[in-house]
Amino acid sequence: MVQTSQKEKFRIPVHNLEGIVTFGYTGASPGLLHLCAERGVALSFLNEHGGFKARIQGKTSGNVLLRRKQYRYADGQEAVHVAKRFIQAKIINSRSVINRALRDHGEKVDNELLMSISATLKRLAAGTSRVSNGDQLRGVEGEAAKLYFSAMNELILVEKKAFHMATRNRRPPRDRINALLSFLYTLLRVDVQSALETVGLDPAVGFLHRDRPGRPGLALDLMEELRAYMADRLALSLINRKQITSKAFIIKENGAVLLSEDGRKEVLAAWQKRKQDEIRHPYLNENISLGLLPYAQSLLLARYIRGDLSDYPPFLFK
């Protein structure tokens, strides 16, 4: 039950919940914390601007043998192999966003520029198979990301001046498109982390992102391949369809740009609606809701680590 000023606003059975995300100084009763931990419902606390603060989780679940093998993979050469699959998929999916813009809005974008970027991303994606260590892979990923975000201004079709991106930045974001992307990436990370815990993997031990206290390394790894499809495309759609305008942002005195309360509500509603869309999973060859995509990829990763699959099949969209 959700209450505001001692008045009931909303009530839903706990088994219908995938997760709860709170913003600002919203409180949760001890009874709710206990129920969420007991039922495996992720309860995440974000500040009023979408910055991640904390997350409540219950007892550690999953097969201990699976996690032990995950740790061995993270410390060995297998880490580079799995990380290459994540980054190759990220680059391919980023390129698909650009190719879709060329196909759907060719008359409104700089075709020569986007075709050149697309060709270079294709080369970089192929080049991931030739790297031999994590540092080289991070270098390729950084080059691809910088190139991809350099195309963002062409992909935005309305309010181009208001949503201009000089470069990808965060902590804090310095323009509206970065603020929107950072907010969506936070939501995606929460979902991916929950999915990994659900299948029994440790979200803190990744293959590409280095271990750091409090950092969900594996969640950051896995969400790389999902960013373009789940977050970037939604951000562009919200702007280009004028569901989000420049008025939905607040510019602080220090130059930080943040979503307003109404802006956050609009993005959250669009995020939840988007997760209800049905897609055909390219590997499973089954129809699933988009909201289950992080779980599907987490499950495939767990099956690979257990030895049930000969390789990890990343998510690729056309």
Residue 39 to residues 15, 216, 294: CA-CA distances in angstroms?
A: 8, 22, 19
**Beta strand pairing call for 42-46 and 19-23:** parallel
Residue 127 to residues 122, 124, 229: CA-CA distances in angstroms?
A: 9, 5, 22
Residue 287 to residues 69, 231, 291, 311: CA-CA distances in angstroms?
A: 30, 20, 12, 22
**In the numeric block, which tokens belong to residue 113?**
């520029």
pLDDT of residue 6: 58
Question: What distance separates the 2 farthest-apart alpha carbons in the chain?
Answer: 60
Domains and CATH numbers, the chain: 1-59 (3.100.10.20), 63-306 (1.20.120.920)
Digit-by-digit pLDDT tens for the chain (318 residues) are: 565 655 665 666 665 565 676 655 566 777 777 677 666 676 766 665 455 556 666 655 557 889 999 999 999 889 999 999 999 999 999 999 999 999 999 899 899 999 999 999 999 999 998 998 989 999 999 999 999 999 999 999 999 999 999 888 878 899 999 999 999 999 999 999 989 988 889 999 999 988 887 789 999 999 999 999 999 999 999 999 999 999 999 998 888 999 999 999 999 999 999 999 999 999 999 999 999 999 999 999 999 999 999 999 999 987
Query: How many angstroms separate the CA atoms of 198 and 200, rounded?
Result: 6
